[in-house]
């Protein structure tokens, strides 16, 4: 159905007009019957308004009393009379103040010194081994061999003899051995006769010594 046709329909306008007429008739009836008066009286009644007071909190407790500080009592001291100082004569020559020397009783501290370790004892090297035959040793006592008369008569002007001596612990000669003799059998006996009574230094052990003799005939 078209909307324009609905707006032009007289039936719809009739219903609205009827509703408005009824509303006005109801209002007129209420005014006539006094309903409106009762409504006005109700409005005119006094309105009781109650004010609700706000609940206040209880006041806080009072602060504790402050301790009373006792002030020190003032003692009135009587003023002392002024006494002028005595007159002191000022010396004209300057005086030197005595020198005060501080005497310390504490002993001086010595620095801590670390002692070096003791030296290690080194054993001395063993003595070199003694030769099997010693040469050039000196006797303690004994006479030299004499030039033999046989060599003088024979006209032997010089000679050379080498002997080896066996020496005991006490330094005595216990054995004689001929090494060389030049000329042979000329100076052998005088050498052996002399060295058998020789005395050497005692060393506490046996050893062999070699002794050399040179003979020279001197002119008388």
pLDDT tens digit sequence for 14-24: 777 888 888 88
* Over residues 34-59, mean pLDDT: 61
Q: pLDDT digit string (tens) for 56-89?
A: 677 777 777 776 666 666 666 666 776 777 666 6
Helix orientation angle between 10-33 and 35-44, rounded to the nearest 10 degrees:
60
Domain for residue 57, yes or no? no
Domain for residue 107, yes or no? no
- Most distant CA pair in the chain, distance: 222
Domain for residue 129, yes or no? no
Least-confidence region, from 11-15, 38-42, 120-124: 38-42
For residue 8, give both structure tokens.
């032009």
Domain for residue 204, yes or no? yes
Quote the mean pLDDT of the chain: 77
- DSSP state string for 31-59: HHHTHHHHHHHHHHSPPP-PPPPPPPPPP
Q: What is the pTM of this model?
A: 0.41
Domain for residue 85, yes or no? no
Q: How many domains does the chain have?
A: 2
Domain for residue 187, yes or no? yes
Domain for residue 164, yes or no? yes
Domain for residue 29, yes or no? yes
Query: CATH number of the domain that 193 lies in?
Result: 3.30.2420.10
Q: For residue 33, give its domain range.
A: 3-42
Which residue's entry shows tokens 């407790």?
A: 61
């Amino acid at each position: 159905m078209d909307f324009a046709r609905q707006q032009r329909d007289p039936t719809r306008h009739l219903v609205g007009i009827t509703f408005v007429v009824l509303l006005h008739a109801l209002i007129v009836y209420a005014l006539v019957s006094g309903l409106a008066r009762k409504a006005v009286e109700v409005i005119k009644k006094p309105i009781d308004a109650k004010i609700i007071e706000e609940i206040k909190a209880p006041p806080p407790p009072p602060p504790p009393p402050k301790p009373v500080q006792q002030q020190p009592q003032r003692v009135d001291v009587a003023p002392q009379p002024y006494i002028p100082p005595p007159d002191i004569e000022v010396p004209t020559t300057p005086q030197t103040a005595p020198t005060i020397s501080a005497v310390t009783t504490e002993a001086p501290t010595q620095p801590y010194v670390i002692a070096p370790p003791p030296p290690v004892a080194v054993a001395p090297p063993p003595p070199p081994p003694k030769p099997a035959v010693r040469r050039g040793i000196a006797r303690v006592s004994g006479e030299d061999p004499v030039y033999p008369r046989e060599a003088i008569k024979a006209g032997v002007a010089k000679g050379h003899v080498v002997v080896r001596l066996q020496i005991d612990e006490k330094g005595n000669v216990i054995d004689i051995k001929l090494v060389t003799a030049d000329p042979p059998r000329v100076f052998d006996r005088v050498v052996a006769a002399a060295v058998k009574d020789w005395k050497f230094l005692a060393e506490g052990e046996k050893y062999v010594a070699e002794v050399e003799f040179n003979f020279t005939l001197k002119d008388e």
